[in-house]
Amino acid sequence: MIAEPEELLTLGIETSCDDTALAVMKGRNVVLSSVLSSQIESHSEYGGVVPELASRMHQEMIIPLLEEVLDGAGINDPSEEIDLIAVTAGPGLMGSLLVGVMTAKALSQAWRIPVIGVNHLEGHIFANVAANRDLAPPFISAIVSGGHTEIVWVKDFGEYELLGSTRDDAAGEAYDKIAKMMGLGYPGGPVIDRLASRGDPERYALPMPLSSTSRVEFSFSGLKTAAANIIRNSEKTGTSLKKEDICASFQKAVIGSLTCKIKLAADMTGVKRLTLSGGVAANSGLRSKLNEIAEEEGWELFLPPKNMCTDNAVMIASAGTDSFLRGNRSDLSLSPDPSWEIW
């Protein structure tokens, strides 16, 4: 017998890329236990995620983390106490997704409880729902990460309209590539953010992509190329390049591009409630600028805690719980879909 909505206990599983994460939640907002194993150190020497390595590391970690998360939540008999298993089924890396989905289906069979596939991007939307009990549709959600840069109109939970996305690179991907060129390591976002706080954002004139268009759209390839050219020219000519200044100038352009389109989306829809999610949502410069604009525009702005910006299982459990309560169901035919679109 399924528990009442606010008492529903959900096991969330997230393995879409290079973080193995599990969480146990009560309802959509109460986190009983959350664990995560990061693979950053293993992938950093390659300058990015190696899919085969990521899949193998998920296989190594998922059962130890399952034992840890259940113990942390005080779950003694999952077959009697867990009501639902929510697992990321896409988009993401096929090998990584397979580990999570197959584990979820095996547990569903063993424990005789329902399983539901969750779209990773809907999960990011629910990072703010999990962290903010008062957040309710309609609202604008900006999802900004290493693989995605999208602005979505959340008309209701399960009813989404894509207002715009990137034409080429995602914002986080541009951060990673510029950081790699400067020898700053992987991932690039956190280190560029730190250096930018000590640099001069006016030192280098970098383009703010598509800032003058009337559409909600992004492009970061030109900005990435312009910054790369400055770095290469400095190397060729032997002139000094202050990394703090190039980071500050680059970050100013990215933040300007993102915030002007978020504002455009709010103006177009008339929606004054906004959320930010994805790995780049942890960027201190972006969070500060959005808070500033929100005060000027009279927005109700929701920002997730920084530990819920990157991939995590709390957001998957929250999204899966809501989807299940809306009547959605999966069965043992559930398969990963690396390109799953929901809008």
CB count within 10 Å of CB 106 equals 13
**Tens digits of per-residue pLDDT, 130-141?**
999 999 999 999
Please give the Cα distance from 231 to 223 (Å, whole number): 13
Please say if the pLDDT value at position 2 is more than 90. no
Q: pTM for the full model?
A: 0.95
Please give the Cα distance from 239 to 313 (Å, whole number): 46
Q: What is the mean pLDDT of residues 258-264?
A: 97
Q: How confident is the model at residue 263 (pLDDT cuts 50, 70, 90)?
A: very high
Please say if the pLDDT value at position 60 is more than 80. yes
Which region among 37-51, 62-76, 320-334 has the lowest average model confidence (pLDDT)?
Answer: 37-51
Q: What is the mean pLDDT of residues 93-120?
A: 98
Domains and CATH numbers, the chain: 5-126+309-325 (3.30.420.40), 136-306 (3.30.420.40)
Q: How confident is the model at residue 14 (pLDDT cuts 50, 70, 90)?
A: very high
- So what's the pLDDT on residue 47? 85
Please say if the pLDDT value at position 1 is more than 80. no
Per DSSP (E only), the strands in the chain are: 9-14, 19-26, 30-38, 84-90, 115-119, 139-144, 149-156, 159-165, 273-277, 300-302
Please give the Cα distance from 179 to 31 (Å, whole number): 34
- So what's the pLDDT on residue 33? 98
CB count within 10 Å of CB 236 equals 8
Please give the Cα distance from 208 to 15 (Å, whole number): 34
- So what's the pLDDT on residue 235? 86
**Tens digits of per-residue pLDDT, 188-203?**
999 999 999 999 999 9
Which region among 5-9, 110-114, 135-139, 305-309 has the lowest average model confidence (pLDDT)?
Answer: 5-9
Q: Which amino acid is at 284?
A: S
Please give the Cα distance from 143 to 141 (Å, whole number): 6
Average per-residue pLDDT in the chain?
95
Please say if the pLDDT value at position 343 is more than 80. yes
- So what's the pLDDT on residue 40? 87
Please say if the pLDDT value at position 246 is more than 80. yes
Q: Of 149, 90, 97, nearest to 118 (Cα)?
A: 90
Burial of 165 from C-beta contacts in 10 A (0-12 / 13-18 / 19+): middle
Q: How confident is the model at residue 240 (pLDDT cuts 50, 70, 90)?
A: confident
Q: How confident is the model at residue 44 (pLDDT cuts 50, 70, 90)?
A: confident
Which region among 22-31, 77-86, 210-219, 234-243 has the lowest average model confidence (pLDDT)?
Answer: 234-243
Q: What is the mean pLDDT of residues 53-57?
A: 96
Q: What is the mean pLDDT of residues 165-181?
A: 95
The 8-class DSSP code of residue 1 comes to -
Task: For residue 10, give the 3-state DSSP assignment.
Answer: strand
**Tens digits of per-residue pLDDT, 220-230?**
999 999 999 99
- So what's the pLDDT on residue 121? 97
